[in-house]
Structure 1
Amino acid sequence: MTRSTFVYVSYIRTTPEKLWSALTDAEFMKQYWFGMHCESQWTAGSSWQLVSADGQIFDAGEIVESEPPHRLVIRWQHQNRPELKAEGYSQCTIELEPSGAAVKLSITHSIEQKPSKLIEAVSGGWPKIISNLKSLLETGSSVLQEPYPTGQKA
């Protein structure tokens, strides 16, 4: 089967430890992920969920690999939109690599489906989430207050 893949890279002025903490701390996450947060023990084999502010589970799966503060691999399936759930499980690999005074954050999100509506959806979401994360870590506040401002297409 053919694979669809989205890759996003950002350089964030922080340390690998602080970035790892920001990526795995549910309360901190809410500040840059538009009120959403992940729930997990962050160890290989543990369950993982992306949960909205009102408790709705958007994505569910498991941690495949966890090497703090360098690498995290999550296998998950979307839960809300039937056309995305039907595509099955995707894999998201997050890698952190020191680069001078910054950390290179690489996200590779893929699924065994081409074309993929899920990859199309995450390719619009990851840049907004990571832009907020970068801004929050570097300046103390996120840059975007809502994922899809009025008049913008989801």
Structure 2
Amino acid sequence: MRPETIHIERTYPITADKLWQALTNQESMKDWFFEIPNFTTEVGGEFEFYKSNDDKNLMHHCQVVESKAPEIFKFTWRHPKQSQGTSVITWRLIPRRGATTLHLTHEGLENFKDAGENYTHAKFESGWERILGESLNKFLEKRSLPI
């Protein structure tokens, strides 16, 4: 089985510190990502959240692997009710002269083969494109976060 990985880069016109806050603050995350009541950036810490899909509550279970503000946030990503597989997501923030590039890597998608058609590389990629290209962008524009 060959590894399946997604790489997406988006550059936002704010500092790495401000982007880190948008990415890791529970209140902010509700507006662009998901509501995650037990969210943490502590290495070894676990959090979970739910997404409704066709009247099913799909649980996402995550564990923090690496966290260094405002540079990197890495965590496992599992769907324990749909699959035995685990993937790893890395958000890397790269400062760029008054802006910050977010490089998202989602590795191990081949581990979700047992979960069905909603867990394909294409579905995950379109989801991340929508989240980073639309939801996070709109949130940052709305907040007009100064550099």
Instruction: Indicate the TM-score class for this superposition, using the shorter chain for normalisation.
Output: 0.7 to 0.9
SS in 2 for 1:138: helix
Seen in structure 2, the aligned counterparts of structure 1 residues 44 and 57 have a Cα distance that, compared at 3 Å, is: farther
For structure 2, the residue ranges without an aligned partner over 5 or more in a row are 114-118
State the shift of 1:118 in Å: 4.2
TM-score (norm 1): 0.75
TM-score (norm 2): 0.78
The answer (yes or no) to whether the contact 2:87–2:111 under 8 Å persists in 1 is: no
Greater mean deviation of Cα atoms: 105-114 or 88-97: 105-114
Q: Which amino acid aligns with 1:37?
A: E
Identity across aligned pairs (percent)?
26
SS at match of 1:113: helix
Aligned length: 133
CA distance in 2, matches of 1:52, 1:61: 14
Please name the residue that 1:138 is paired with.
Answer: 141
In 2, Cα distance between the equivalents of 1:44 and 1:12? 26
Say which structure is richer in helix.
Answer: 2
**Structure 1 residues 115 and 27, CA, compared in 2 at 3 Å: closer, same or farther?**
closer
Rounded Cα–Cα distance in structure 2 between residues aligned with 1:93 and 1:134: 19
Shift in Å, 1:19: 0.8
Give the match's secondary structure for 2:110: coil
CA distance in 1 between partners of 2:73 and 2:45 (Å): 12
Corresponding residue number in structure 2 for 1:91: 88
Partner residue of 2:116?
Answer: none
